[in-house]
Amino acid sequence: MKKTIIPFIILLCSLYLYAQSSTGLSEINKEDLIKNVGILSSPDFDGRLPGSEGYNKAAQFVANKFAELGLKPAGDEKYFQYLNVEYNKIESPAIFKTIVDGDITNYVLGNDFVLRGFTGSNKFTLPVVFCGYGLSRPYLNYDDYAGVNVKNKIVMVFKQNPTWKINDKDWGTNYPREKSLVAKKYGAKGILFVSLSNEEKPQPLIGSVMHGEGEQPVDFPQLQISHEAANILLSRTGLKINELQTKIDEKKKPLSINLLTKAVVEVNAKYEKNARTMNVVGLIEGSDPKLKNEYVVIGAHLDHVGSQAGLLFPGANDNASGSAGVLEIAKAFVKNGIKPNRTLLFVLFASEEQGLYGAKHFVDNWKKGYNKIYAMLNMDCIGYGDSIQVGNGKSAPNLWDFAKQIDQTNFKSMVSRTWSGGGADATPFHEKGIPSLYFVTTNSYDHLHLPSDKVETLNPDLYEKLVKLAYLTALEIANGKHIREEIIKESK
């Protein structure tokens, strides 16, 4: 693998290793962290889907907190930096039933099925056809739709792509949204996704947002259903969903079947192509005449995946935890009474779940220019798990080593594993050559995009340690006498 070099930070002087008694550190406490997570993940904010009233209320909550702390507004309009995103509000009713030989089975939203974030609206009772992986790749000599009629029917497909290659070639990216467009092209009226059943830990019924490229078919319902529901639809074939996966994977050939069963689907969704949302940006100006023109970003994404017809996805760990962490670090800097040398930017990003859109928009459009950003610290899913992990250490080794030394002196909770290339909202910064670290916890995804991602599941002690570690790292970057190092970007 070839390695190219771009500018980064070199730590010149001996590192500040702040003890637990460091100025401002005592302001960070698990009680306040948990309180703010509880507020942000409450039904009042409706899952914080960008474009929604719930997200706007969450952004205003953060802006009010910034104002209370005395942070200067640093958005386009006061604390807000606006951008447009796709928005799909899923309202009641959300109905899914199966009909097999006249027997009707009703299913419960959240337990037996969820709606995909890009679902369209419609109401129908139609036959179901199983179409394997839902792929149509004639150039690879593979087509799940060849020889099967899906016109005016519902297709059921695996949500993921095959784990095997076809003709020694990768399948490439294929989001569920794209599979939906393929099904619609062949005349289907809706789609049922099923997670791969032969994995060691099959994917649960998770909430999702609009992701991927392509048109939005507003009349095309898109659901993810449980393996149990899939097996009922398959009952007349004598096969289970795991057996079908095995047959396809072993032969590496399509196996599409008319199931001779029906599904009842009713979905009510309201789609907007360009809904307005916002990043929230507050500032503590640096005190050094020269260094104050260099900016340190402390960020996290505020958004989550919203709600579906009354089913709330709270997003406590993902990422109310990171958002509350930003607020707590801002409070610590304000309360420590010592202005940093460099200017601090506290940013809550929109639309991470849709594809890092808020962070990308900030980097590309921030009024001072991204070249003024000295470093970026990102926090994502930091409240639940076993230990602290700091990503991007392979690209930012000196900065990562510094965080590791702070941890060993104070907390002893950080693992040695890391990676390169950014991670989550740190990625757009890294891609611009901005030094970045990504703070996260290990084993943090048990409740990812599930209704169970609630404040009660968090690990308050570990959560507090991570936020303190991020604060001490930011404190050194803001005040230390550093010059730029060269970081490593890997390329093929």
Contacts of 290 (CB under 8 A, 6+ apart): none
pLDDT of residue 243: 97
Least confident of 22-26, 67-71, 91-95: 22-26
Does residue 484 surpass a pLDDT of 90?
Answer: no
* Range with lowest mean pLDDT among 75-89, 256-270, 344-358, 389-403: 389-403
All structural domains of the chain, each given as residue ranges with its CATH number in brackets, are 2-87+273-491 (3.40.630.10), 88-270 (3.50.30.30)
What's the pLDDT at 168?
A: 80
Lowest mean pLDDT among 357-361, 416-420, 466-470: 416-420
pLDDT tens track for 275-307: 999 999 999 999 999 999 999 999 999 999 999
Q: Is the pLDDT of residue 2 over 90?
A: no
Band the pLDDT of 10: cuts 50, 70, 90.
very low
Per-residue pLDDT at 197: 86
Q: What is the pLDDT at residue 485?
A: 64
pLDDT at 353 (0 to 100): 96
pLDDT confidence band for 1 (50 / 70 / 90): very low
Q: Work out the mean pLDDT of the chain and round it to a whole number.
A: 92
Per-residue pLDDT tens over the stretch 333-368:
999 988 999 999 999 999 999 999 999 999 999 999
Q: Could you tell me what percent of the chain has a pLDDT over 90? A: 83
